[in-house]
Amino acid sequence: MAMATNFDTGMRLADILLEVGEEVNALDYDATTGLAQLPTGELLAKIRRHVNAGYRYFARSNPRWTWLEHRVVLTLDPTGKGPDNIEQDPARYRLPDYIQGRPKGNWTFIDEISAYETVLDTSWDYVRQRFAVTNNTTGTPRLAGISVYQPEIGRQGWQVLFWPSPGTAFTIEAQFRIRPRKLINLDDRLMAGSDHDEAIIKCAVEDWRRMDEDDPTAWERAQQARDQAIRASILIDLENVPGRLGRWTDPGAARGHVNPRLLSYNGVTTYNGTDVATTNF
């Protein structure tokens, strides 16, 4: 499963904790080297809480952040033994836990294997029904539905089910809206990318200063620094906005054929009087 490259460019939690801790005078220093060190115990947990609060604030500060739109790429495995397969089911795949619900449109084939261009996004229940009522269970996926996936061990995430089950190792992609993951481990990275590290640090410092009753002016200064950093981040982010989001025309379920938006999200059983299960779109 692939993800956008800026997931790898944002600062690590360990570095953010050091930056925030230094600004709020909450660090320890090595007596020999004089270098800053992360505190331990409750103080470390407190800085982490403020970092995550600042991170959430930053994500909510602009509903049009381009970094909240992410491309998820899946390579389907007809053997069911791929790294993203669930229970060795070739039709069922694990999606990242940071996505927010359904994709923003249909899945798109990005290889040259399929004669089709898109896999229609529909409901999980409808895809299951197609498996239940048709014998056409293997081939080129034409329908996809996602639902919440809760493994026995690990974080809750999302899963996608394709119909028919892929008969070839197709590669597909879809665009999703994401939510920032909570930073827990010291190696966890900010999902916004390095362009926004500074603004997120300022948001975390402001969140800390808000609780500082001894120096209310420090909170005011922190608010100003936070707002200025967010404005700078917005200007940077605007540079990433394409001239027009999406395509001028929808390519259709098959190249040169039916528009996938004619098939509703709730699922349809026929198209032009023919059963969808047997229609060669």
Structure token pair of residue 83: 């790294």
Backbone angles phi, psi at 189, to 5 degrees: -115, 150
Instruction: Tell me how many degrees the CA angle 205-208-212 measures, rounded to the nearest 5.
Output: 125
Q: What are the pLDDT digits (tens) for 29-51?
A: 877 888 888 888 999 999 999 99
Mean predicted lDDT score pLDDT of the chain:
84
Residues in the chain: 281
Share of the chain above pLDDT 90, in %: 61
Highest mean pLDDT (candidates 6-20, 74-88, 175-189, 214-228): 74-88
For the full predicted model, state whether its pTM sits above 0.85: no
pLDDT for 271 equals: 40
Write the pLDDT tens digit of every residue in 113-160.
888 899 999 999 999 999 999 877 899 999 999 999 988 777 788 999
